[in-house]
Structure 1
Amino acid sequence: MPTQETTSKWPLAQFVTVALVWGASFLFIAIGLEGLSPAQVVLGRLGSGAVALAGISLATRQKLPTEPAVWGHLAVVSVLLCVAPFLLYSWAEQAIGSGLASIYNATTPLMTTLVAMAALPRERPTTMRMLGLGAGFLGVLIVLGPWRGTGGGALAAQAACLLATACYGMGFVHLRRFVSPRGLPSLSLATVQVGLGALIMLALAPWLATAPVHISPRVVLSILILGMAGTGLAYVWNTNLVAAWGAANASTVTYLTPVVGVSLGVAVLAEPVTWNEPVGAVIAVVGIAISQGRLSGVGRWRRKPAPAGSTANQASSGRTDA
């Protein structure tokens, strides 16, 4: 398993992979809820994700961070990027569809931008980035097709989805500000992050995960994929993206999750495709390109570095020289 230093050379490939894996996660949550409670789904995905990452770390002899401060920051990240949003989405999908949940998930870059404006002065959005974020969100709305009616869903469930994206926004920024500049390997960071999340859920299980369990091969397979891929390996790639592109830019991966959800509906459930879905997908992708500076020729997927050897340069690149 490559380290953050080597895998960060391939941010675009990791961006696409994370979009695919996270886009499918809402479908797997819905299937998991067929036999498990929301808390049991979260416990299963974090537990299987932690086992997968721990196994890879042992096989590659990857050392975990030893600084107490790093573990403290990763505990915060674990709550904000794993425990809280996973519980909120699993609870919400009892009342609303997985597609609608994935649409709400696409507001994560907007939440992240709001947090980054206050916490990360170097990542305050430019006019072009805001234009790109707006275009991306417009594309998501077109994919949703609100003029056709979305089926509504409980208001509390939809509010829970928005609260989950707020957690993601704070988690992205905390990771970027306090963890990424240390230049630690992504695998070790993800292993600790997901492992701490699994321990937190184990501690909460006697109060939250006591509902009857109805196991089926379909449910078990969904939880394993959700945990090992969506919660395990995806967090390695996500850590690389935050370090390489910054918090707000990395979070734009969520613009593609509704597109993946629509594609899965067509491929797996034979759902019909209407004109607004491919049009919205194109607009979302263009918005991402604008926010990354690919269309304007500015940024080249990461900010212009500060003078060599400066502390600002180390922080903005997500690495240290150590």
Structure 2
Amino acid sequence: MTTATVTEAPVRAVRRPALDWRLRFGVLSLIWGFSFLLIKVGTEGYAPFQVTLGRLLFGTLVLAAAMAVKRERPPRGVRTWGHLAVAGFLLNALPFSLFAYAELTIPSTLAGICNATSPLWGMALSMVALSEDRPTRVRVAGLGLGFVGVLTVLGAWQGFSGLDGRGTVMALLASLSYPIGWIYVRRTLAGVGHSHISLTGAQLLLATVQLAVATALFSGVPTHVDALPLLAVATLGALGTGVALLIQYGLVAEVGPTTAQMVTYFIPVIATGAGVAVLGESLSWSTPVGAVVVLAGAALTQIRRGARRNGSRTAGGRGSSGRGSDRPGSDRAGRAHAAESRVEAAPHP
């Protein structure tokens, strides 16, 4: 999730990464797909707030290292930092904590599927909050289909028996928090003249501070150290929050946000496979069937009119096709795609 302007970026070649984008796409899918397993393992040894704090701390360290290597400066301006604090709460502190609490009582497979509902929530909210994002019949149909899938996953015809309602609601609220955060960023941070690494590093830092306060008030310091849960938390933060974001930004700059967002549809599949194969979680027929319906609905909600997707846009969603060419591989193209990715990024767990 990045914000950047494209009007002032010079057009110059960008060195392509050594690894093919398809390999990086697969790595990103695996990292985020296994994140729900890591959350579950982490909560077996530590309180949910402690898991989230550790995750954010390790993720922030990775972004700080990337900023140091690239010699990026932190954002400037009290107003910008204030907006980043809200973004950090909505996009990191709140959903990460809700998923951690949810997985105390629900399987990681269900949490991964709930995460896939973010595009559905996003489409519903954009109909109300973003006047320039008008729905089409196909997108509305996708919204309805997606929520039918959610009801299928939850076994609505059985009265939701066998599910922990509180944990499920927490996971769904976590998924809802992402599009609320995206809309907030789109309204407040569009056009801010800082790189995505700088903005996201500051955002994670502020979210870490928020969790440090929450952990001190409600969880305290861990009374003992469990090696495996600690390793899970460190991996979750360093890879799932830090490295994964860097991979995502690279994908957005190279192949565009539409292709990069396709990772959303692989996350629940990998999360389900990991939960069943590694953690031995049970799986009823309605879970994979409902998940397929959810993903189909989510895919339909992302279909837009061709004209809107052909022109380049700034982070504020305004067309800018008349301002110059966004050639693949150019710095202008990378910044344009990075700007779009901050408001339309895949919901990472």
Structure-1 residue corresponding to 2:38: 28
Alignment of 1:169-188 (within 5 A): 169-182=179-192, 184-188=194-198
Superposition deviation, residue 223 in structure 1: 0.6
Question: How well do the aligned residues superpose, as a CA RMSD in angstroms?
Answer: 4.2
Q: Residue type of the partner of 2:306?
A: G
Identity rate, percent: 38
Pairing partner for 2:306 from 280, 288, 299: 299
Which protein has the bigger helix share? 1
Q: Distance in 2 between matches of 1:108 and 1:64?
A: 29
Q: Distance in 2 between matches of 1:133 and 1:139?
A: 10
Residues 1:86 and 1:226: Cα distance change in structure 2 (over 3 Å): same
Q: Distance in 1 between matches of 2:229 and 2:313?
A: 52
- C-alpha distance after superposition, 1:180-221 (max 9, x if no partner): 443632211211111111122223332123164442332122
Structure-2 residue corresponding to 1:231: 241
Q: Distance in 2 between matches of 1:81 and 1:129?
A: 24
Superposition deviation, residue 29 in structure 1: 0.9
Q: Distance in 2 between matches of 1:122 and 1:317?
A: 19
3-state DSSP of counterpart to 1:312: coil
3-state DSSP of counterpart to 1:190: helix
Structure-2 residue corresponding to 1:312: 318
Structure-2 residue corresponding to 1:69: 79
2:230 equivalent to 1:220: yes
Stretches of structure 1 that go unaligned for 5 or more consecutive residues are none
Q: Distance in 2 between matches of 1:290 and 1:60?
A: 38
The number of equivalent residue pairs is: 310
Q: Residue type of the partner of 1:46?
A: L
> Does the 8 A contact of 1:140 with 1:258 survive in 2?
no
With normalisation by structure 2, the TM-score equals 0.71
Q: Distance in 1 between matches of 2:232 and 2:257?
A: 31
Q: Distance in 2 between matches of 1:141 and 1:255?
A: 18
3-state DSSP of counterpart to 2:274: helix
3-state DSSP of counterpart to 1:122: coil
3-state DSSP of counterpart to 1:303: helix
With normalisation by structure 1, the TM-score equals 0.76
> Does the 8 A contact of 1:108 with 1:254 survive in 2?
no
Residues 1:20 and 1:215: Cα distance change in structure 2 (over 3 Å): same
> Does the 8 A contact of 1:186 with 1:240 survive in 2?
no
> Does the 8 A contact of 1:92 with 1:161 survive in 2?
yes
Structure-2 residue corresponding to 1:110: 120
Q: Distance in 1 between matches of 2:317 and 2:173?
A: 34
